[in-house]
Amino acid sequence: MNGFVAFIEEKLMPVANKVGMQRHMVAIRKGIIATLPLTIVGSFFTILLNFPIESVAAVIEPIGRY
């Protein structure tokens, strides 16, 4: 296992660093990081409106109509 890790660090990491530091890749990374909080909040609301437990969904359902 140590040989594999050493190979990755020696051969693959320099190439990955060069690709990862290109301005196009940095822009994509920053865009994904900027939209991640909105995605997480939206997913919470989606789960809340489609709650998987029927008894809880029945309680929430009148609120979800608005």
pLDDT of residue 40: 97
Model pTM score: 0.58
Phi-psi region of 53 (alpha: psi -120 to 50; beta: other; left: phi over 0): beta
Is residue 52 within a helix (H) or strand (E), and if so which, with residue range?
A: none
Residue 2: what residue type?
N
Contact 46, 60 (CB under 8 A): no
What pLDDT is stored for residue 66 in this prediction? 59
User: Residues for the chain: how many in total?
Assistant: 66
- Rounded distance between C-alpha atoms, residue 51 and residue 54, angstroms: 7
Q: Quote the pLDDT of residue 41.
A: 96
